Structure 1
Amino acid sequence: MIGMKSQAAAALAVTVAGTLAACAQQTDFNQVGCQMAIMLQNSHFDRASQSFKDLSDDFLATYLRDLDYGRIYFTQHDVDRFEKQYGDRLATMLLEKDSMEAATDIYETFVKRVESRVAQANEVLSEDNIDFTKPETIMRSRKEAAWPKDEAEAKDLFRKQVKEALLSERLRREMVLKLAKEQSKEELFKDERSPEDKIKLRYERFLHTVRDVDEEDVATYFLSAVAKTFDPHTDYLSFKQMERFRDDMRNQLVGIGALLQAEEDGATKIMGIVVNGPADRAGELRLNDRIVGVDPNNSGNPEDMVDIMFMKIDKVVDLIRGKEGTEVRLKVEPAGGVPGDSELLVIQRGKVELKDEQATAEVIDRVGEDDEHQRIGVITLPSFYADFDGGDTRCSADVEALLDRLNKEEIDGLILDLRNNGGGALEEVRRMTGFFTKRLPVVQVKNTLGQVQVKESENRRPIYSGPMIVLTDKSSASASEILAGALQDDNRAVIVGESSTFGKGTVQQPMDIGRHMPFFADRQRAGTLKVTIQKFYRPSGSSTQNQGVIPDVVLPSLTDALEIGETYLDHALDHDVIRPAPGFDPSPKSDLFLPHLREMSAKRVEESTDFGYVREDVARETKRRAENEISLVMADREAELKDADKLQHERNAERRKRFADMETTDKKDLTFYKLTLDDAVEDKPMKVFDPAEENSGYMRRAKDKTEELDTTPEWPSGLDPYKREALSIMGDLVDVTRDAKMAGMLKSSNLR
């Protein structure tokens, strides 16, 4: 298994002391930590390069970073104490089944600091004379900042943080008021609290978040920090987190089919409803409704209704999800109703397919050079999903069905869109690569002993063998990089996209910690170690680790100014190179006509107004990040917003005129056909659609005021600059490939 996962960081240990006795007969997380430490030493790919006991300081540093990433809660005094008591002992404490003492102590200190800061925030926000003329600044990023040296410095730093939050909220309201020219301030913000109260509630929500934990939560955060010290993708997953991970991989869950969002005032808001899902079929839950209580078993007893105000969103989700066919009772405040009024809704849980994460396809008929008609297929794959529990869900099967249908549609070229695809199942990418190539090495996998295994594609002949482009960005990671790298090494496809892919070149394997614990130990909630066991290499021998896949045709992107990618992650493994895979025999690179494609693309990009805007934004963001400073002076910030608003207004005015012309041309030159998985499997006829007006049929979504008032025009025909340029490059590739074949046929005829 390969993929990316983000881990939340905050939990409370104040409640831990009171729950230890109740947990006495439950899973012992000191034992879990010991077993995980042993497994890391035995299984991690890079275990031989570092002594476990020498990592104690790193364990502590990672834990502190995860809890207080902005370095605004702990002081240097706190850090000094932690280093003195635990800095060189954490590894030993783990092995001696005594690590939860340190984890709990550090966490209790964190909670005390949060409580103190939130109390301070309430005091600051209750003042009537906050001075927004005083020349003060805060750092944009505190990742490399020093810890506050003492409590006085910490309080001054946090005062500025609160001041900035309030300033930003006031400026946001000014912006909304300016956009909504015909609405009064009272109308616009009648359902909102004052800026001061809004920020108070934001901090109150955070305080509840760090308090709303038990011993298992504290263990999860601490053990996750220990695991991530080995590399960014080794991680500890609690019992519940592993269940969610499996749901994500199988693209299916059992629940009510609603998208939830934590509100600052403590409620949980309905931001989306899956079309034809359980909630949609029940018909009573509406967008923007607010859930304030959940009876997970629909017992009907008032004491069983769980108050979810200020509860962490993942715990709310756990209460609402359950077994298929069971019922959940929700206490809901209806959208637009009288504040405080509520009603009870009962919804039967059911399977919910995450169709936004499924492979989809479309066919674009376009008029090319000399009025030549081209038929371009586009497959979008959000992730390499698969059901690890033996189900039928497999992204390779879905892509195969779409490819078979695209072949029947006689496409001239194929674009495989892997943007924002963070990876997934290794076997799926191995199988999928064979859809486009002859049987060849897909990836080389090296274990900690240096042994290299070559994994080949399955198919003896490809399903699709025509011109092909793979579209990538900085978020294309892991399995996406294997596929893009294999097709690039084989000179089978032209890779187009941002300056590189993410750069994750490692393989993780989930290991059930409970299976390795002593026989009589309680293993029920021991959790899972997702450990890096291998590095993967391209058929050419180069690792994608840190470096990623460099596209053949690079397009400008704002990510060039941002710290996105493996190279920016702590404890990332190094890039290296091994020998090419046995049997690696790439096709001629000349078949891709790369010099010609680059020349044609570079000319279009240079002339593109939208890519020009991107280059301007990159320069501006690079300068801003280098300065790393945010002004707390109202006049300065208003001037910045005025400049940004003027720039946006000028761009929007220019775009509206240009986009109208582009839409007219598109209607003449482009025809779009939608192809769903159901269409492909059931051989239904494709339907013409307008992508500029197409909304996801999978989910109805709520919008906030800012989104509703945003006047930025949509991309013409739904084609953002990257997809539009990929379509143009494909047109060039189809044309030059056809011309080369014609020339070859003519030459062969002349020889005879």
Structure 2
Amino acid sequence: MNRLRFRSAALAVALSACTLAACAQQADFNQVGREMAIMLQNSHFDRSSRSFKELGDDFLKTYLRDLDYGRVYFTQADVTRFEETYGDKLSEMLLQQDSMTAATDIYGTFVKRVEARVAEAKRMLKEDEFDFSKNDSVMRSRKEAPWPKDEAEATEIWRRQIKEALLSERLRREMVAKLAEDQGKENPLAEEREPRERLELRYERFLHSVKDVDDDDIAAYFLSAVAQTFDPHTDYMSYKEMERFKDGMRNQLVGIGALLQAEEDGATKIMGIVVGGPADRAGQLKLNDRVVGVDSLNTGNPEDMVDIMFMKIDKVVDLIRGAEGTEVRLKVEPAGAPPGETALIVIKRGKVELKDAQTSAEVIEYKGSDGETQKLGVITLPSFYADFDAGETRCSVDVELMLMRLKEEQIDGLVFDLRNNGGGALEEVRRMTGFFTRRLPVVQVKNTLGQIQVKESDNRRPIYDGPLLILTDKSSASATEILAGALQDDNRAVIIGDSSTFGKGTVQQPMDIGRQMPFFADRNKAGTLKVTIQKFYRPSGSSTQNKGVVPDIILPSLTDALEVGEGYLDHALDHDIIRPAPGFEPLSKANLFIPRLKELSNARVTKSKDFAYVIEDVTKARARLRENKVSLNIEERREELAEADATQNARNLERRERYAKMSKSDSGKMKFFKLTLDDLEEGKGLREVDPTLDAEDYMRRAEDKTAELDDTPEWPSKLDPTKREALYVLSDLVDITRNAKMAGLLKKNEGR
């Protein structure tokens, strides 16, 4: 993960506060680097492929990649100096407790180059007249481009980047103004700063984000690069990052419950307020308020009010954070108030539940072509969350409660929606697999010594044994792939979705670096090494690494045009195969009727206008990526935008008529019922809902008038094409299974 990438929004949260004595101490990051280097050599899964001493050049390349991904700041002269001075010596410097010399020197050079580029950008934006009539262009991606050979070439590359940014800003304003005029609305950008001023502020904020660092930050950037050279998921996490990771796994944070966004002029804007959260209960903080100062201890002393103008969001969050029950004082510019007017707001910190990230369920009563009504259940799991410390929150417990409730409703089939689920706790997926099938091997885990451990599910009998679909996409990773792979290998479920899942087939273990350091060393805030120690293998013996899980039924997706997946990451481990798990006896695949389901699905997808649009967009996107060029000619860009706009308008015209018919058909064929964890806790049953109305939101969000100009009609019944097709496939599976059972055609599962 590139820690320097600008984040426009973050949830203002608070983690556990450190004591003043602890905060005063500081780990020696040269010593931290040495201990981490030793831990990597001793613990990483792939430690035997190359010796540590051979990796110095790669450490440098990864560090430079993370700092300057677009290769626009460093020149070849800089890179050559780094290679000659450090290069293959970095491994030795780490072991000799001298790595921060290189880390600081390289980062210091990076800061100087950014300062120079930003100064040049400001000069260009103030003085230069850019000619947008020339047949000029800029590379869309510079990931594989050579470093600029000298400052002259770097300046020219930078000039083109500035020119493209200015052109894009001008065209954005033109497009929004036209949309507003066509719809008879006010232009939401009428009061916005002029393009050149807006870009100046954008570069100024980036410069601040690069300069607003301390030794901890530089160490984190460098040590993370060293760790990720072993594989993309091995990482160094600072003390603060590790605490945030744990809170994210709990789906519960401690803070004020507000969504923050960095404004280009340096302020931090309130873009959302969690309903029922501390800020919402206090009632003083409003949407679109701008935070300009934070007194984290609420001392009331003006000297303790920290000016946060141009401060990075994560540092603003750190100031707002604190222990539950303590207070924070915010200096804000109230929304709509005259310029310069400020107010002081005190909020008591408290727990904030991330309800959007919790398990949820629904039942759709669907009347098929034969007039029979089916009850189709859907469980959505955003991640395999779990509280690693207290164990109070477990997604497997939440899913079990949902599943038991849907079973009481006598559902005929179930879709388990795991799209955008990046994984999480291995124990949760192991336990959860047993909800759907008898005890069986869920995953095989191999360590660096080649030893293989088979992890089985718990349940002797499944909670739910009816028709089952697992819905995945390219973002489904890690634990999700274990569940989908195990149920696919067992022939228990039909997998449907994108061409494959992400392909993360490795296990990481967090290791406290401070525990490895000498007894008298400053261990406080030494950080954590999250190191890959094992690889996952499916019960069949195939690794999920790189290849992921390939669905039984593949649907068109825009991700087919994007470089999404493990295979596109630097230093990804290889895919391989081991022997099948001992005693693994899958169910009969014939009982899934996959050939017939694919035939029926392909017929629908072929006729679907929405999937046809996706395929068309994928083709265009692939062509753009191959060309890797963006025109700087304003008329060419206007033509491209006009063509895209005409295509979108034609599609929307077609969609409105078709969606109206689909919605009318849905209202006669479908009824929708929702179920949340709050419903279960309060003893409520399924609630019938109108899918055309806005769904319940756990956060009040600031109005986005520009986004409101998008007149693309919503999916009929709020069912996107992929989810709708999954429900159709499930309905087919229910019908085919029922008919086969009545005809006595289901295959027996010997020994199961």
TM-score range, shorter chain: over 0.9
CA contact (8 A) 1:36 1:513 kept: yes
Question: 5+ unaligned residues in a row in structure 2: which ranges?
Answer: 7-22
* TM-aligned CA deviation for residue 189 of structure 1: 2.9
* TM-aligned CA deviation for residue 268 of structure 1: 0.8
Residue 418 of structure 2 corresponds to residue 423 of structure 1: no
Residue 198 of structure 2 corresponds to residue 198 of structure 1: yes
User: Hey, what does 2:19 align to over in structure 1?
Assistant: none
* TM-aligned CA deviation for residue 337 of structure 1: 2.0
User: Hey, what does 2:9 align to over in structure 1?
Assistant: none
User: Hey, what does 2:4 align to over in structure 1?
Assistant: 9
Deviations 1:425-479 (A, max 9, x none): 0000000000001000000000000000000001111011100000000000000
Change (3 A) 1:151 1:237: same
* TM-aligned CA deviation for residue 680 of structure 1: 2.7
The code of the aligned residue for 1:468 comes to L
User: Hey, what does 1:292 align to over in structure 2?
Assistant: 292
* TM-aligned CA deviation for residue 184 of structure 1: 9.6
User: Hey, what does 1:497 align to over in structure 2?
Assistant: 497
Partner-residue secondary structure (3-state), 1:188? coil
Partner-residue secondary structure (3-state), 1:256? strand
Partner-residue secondary structure (3-state), 2:330? strand
Normalized against structure 2, the TM-score is what?
0.96
| Aligned residue runs from structure 1 range 636-655, under 5 A | 636-655=636-655
User: Hey, what does 2:683 align to over in structure 1?
Assistant: 683
Deviations 1:342-399 (A, max 9, x none): 1111111100011111100011000113111000110000000000112310000000
Deviations 1:476-530 (A, max 9, x none): 0000000000000000000000000000000000000000000000011100000
The code of the aligned residue for 2:491 comes to N
CA contact (8 A) 2:365 2:670 kept: yes
The code of the aligned residue for 2:267 comes to A
User: Hey, what does 2:517 align to over in structure 1?
Assistant: 517
CA contact (8 A) 2:469 2:730 kept: yes
Residue 161 of structure 2 corresponds to residue 166 of structure 1: no
* TM-aligned CA deviation for residue 679 of structure 1: 1.9
For 1:121 and 1:7, locate their aligned partners in 2 and report how far apart those are by CA, in whole Å: 23
**Range 266-275 or range 477-486, more displaced:** 266-275
For 1:667 and 1:183, locate their aligned partners in 2 and report how far apart those are by CA, in whole Å: 29
Change (3 A) 1:392 1:112: same
Residue 735 of structure 2 corresponds to residue 735 of structure 1: yes
Residue 433 of structure 2 corresponds to residue 433 of structure 1: yes
Partner-residue secondary structure (3-state), 1:376? strand
* TM-aligned CA deviation for residue 747 of structure 1: 13
Partner-residue secondary structure (3-state), 2:535? strand
Deviations 1:705-726 (A, max 9, x none): 3212111111111100000000
For 1:547 and 1:183, locate their aligned partners in 2 and report how far apart those are by CA, in whole Å: 46
Residue 411 of structure 2 corresponds to residue 411 of structure 1: yes
Partner-residue secondary structure (3-state), 1:603? helix
For 1:619 and 1:397, locate their aligned partners in 2 and report how far apart those are by CA, in whole Å: 43
User: Hey, what does 1:146 align to over in structure 2?
Assistant: 146
Partner-residue secondary structure (3-state), 1:445? strand
CA contact (8 A) 1:10 1:221 kept: no
The code of the aligned residue for 2:117 comes to R
Percent identity of equivalent pairs: 72
| Aligned residue runs from structure 1 range 251-290, under 5 A | 251-290=251-290
* TM-aligned CA deviation for residue 284 of structure 1: 1.3
CA contact (8 A) 2:177 2:187 kept: no
CA contact (8 A) 2:237 2:530 kept: yes
Change (3 A) 1:608 1:25: closer
Residue 471 of structure 2 corresponds to residue 471 of structure 1: yes
Residue 618 of structure 2 corresponds to residue 615 of structure 1: no
User: Hey, what does 2:339 align to over in structure 1?
Assistant: 339
Partner-residue secondary structure (3-state), 2:743? helix
Change (3 A) 1:77 1:374: same
* TM-aligned CA deviation for residue 7 of structure 1: 4.0
Residue 221 of structure 2 corresponds to residue 247 of structure 1: no
Partner-residue secondary structure (3-state), 1:502? coil
Partner-residue secondary structure (3-state), 1:219? helix
* TM-aligned CA deviation for residue 185 of structure 1: 11
Partner-residue secondary structure (3-state), 1:444? strand
CA contact (8 A) 2:590 2:747 kept: no
User: Hey, what does 1:14 align to over in structure 2?
Assistant: none
Residue 457 of structure 2 corresponds to residue 462 of structure 1: no
Partner-residue secondary structure (3-state), 2:590? helix
Normalized against structure 1, the TM-score is what?
0.96
User: Hey, what does 2:383 align to over in structure 1?
Assistant: 383
* TM-aligned CA deviation for residue 62 of structure 1: 0.1
| Aligned residue runs from structure 1 range 302-317, under 5 A | 302-317=302-317
Question: 5+ unaligned residues in a row in structure 1: which ranges?
Answer: 1-5, 12-22
User: Hey, what does 1:74 align to over in structure 2?
Assistant: 74
CA contact (8 A) 2:176 2:189 kept: no
The code of the aligned residue for 1:529 comes to L
The code of the aligned residue for 1:9 comes to L
CA contact (8 A) 1:177 1:183 kept: no
* TM-aligned CA deviation for residue 128 of structure 1: 5.4
| Aligned residue runs from structure 1 range 628-707, under 5 A | 628-707=628-707
For 1:7 and 1:634, locate their aligned partners in 2 and report how far apart those are by CA, in whole Å: 33
* TM-aligned CA deviation for residue 624 of structure 1: 0.5
Residue 239 of structure 2 corresponds to residue 228 of structure 1: no
Displaced runs of 4 or more, over 6 A = 182-186, 745-748
Change (3 A) 1:276 1:312: same
User: Hey, what does 2:96 align to over in structure 1?
Assistant: 96
The code of the aligned residue for 1:279 comes to A
The code of the aligned residue for 1:539 comes to P
* TM-aligned CA deviation for residue 694 of structure 1: 2.8
For 1:165 and 1:532, locate their aligned partners in 2 and report how far apart those are by CA, in whole Å: 39
For 1:363 and 1:307, locate their aligned partners in 2 and report how far apart those are by CA, in whole Å: 50
CA contact (8 A) 1:234 1:529 kept: yes
Partner-residue secondary structure (3-state), 1:577? coil
For 1:704 and 1:89, locate their aligned partners in 2 and report how far apart those are by CA, in whole Å: 51
CA contact (8 A) 1:692 1:716 kept: yes
Residue 566 of structure 2 corresponds to residue 571 of structure 1: no
What RMSD over aligned residues (CA atoms) do the two structures have, in Å? 1.7
Partner-residue secondary structure (3-state), 1:336? coil
The code of the aligned residue for 1:594 comes to I
CA contact (8 A) 1:176 1:705 kept: no
Deviations 1:539-581 (A, max 9, x none): 0000000000000000011111110000000000000000000
For 1:153 and 1:746, locate their aligned partners in 2 and report how far apart those are by CA, in whole Å: 70
Change (3 A) 1:746 1:153: closer
The code of the aligned residue for 2:4 comes to A
User: Hey, what does 2:726 align to over in structure 1?
Assistant: 726
Partner-residue secondary structure (3-state), 2:530? strand
User: Hey, what does 2:127 align to over in structure 1?
Assistant: 127
* TM-aligned CA deviation for residue 318 of structure 1: 1.3
User: Hey, what does 1:624 align to over in structure 2?
Assistant: 624
Residue 480 of structure 2 corresponds to residue 480 of structure 1: yes
Deviations 1:133-160 (A, max 9, x none): 1221110011100000000000010011
| Aligned residue runs from structure 1 range 37-56, under 5 A | 37-56=37-56
* TM-aligned CA deviation for residue 685 of structure 1: 2.3
For 1:113 and 1:686, locate their aligned partners in 2 and report how far apart those are by CA, in whole Å: 59
User: May I ask how many residue pairs the two structures share in their alignment?
Assistant: 733
For 2:684 and 2:457, locate their aligned partners in 1 and report how far apart those are by CA, in whole Å: 30
* TM-aligned CA deviation for residue 190 of structure 1: 4.4
CA contact (8 A) 1:295 1:305 kept: yes
Deviations 1:228-250 (A, max 9, x none): 00000000000110111011011
Partner-residue secondary structure (3-state), 1:369? coil
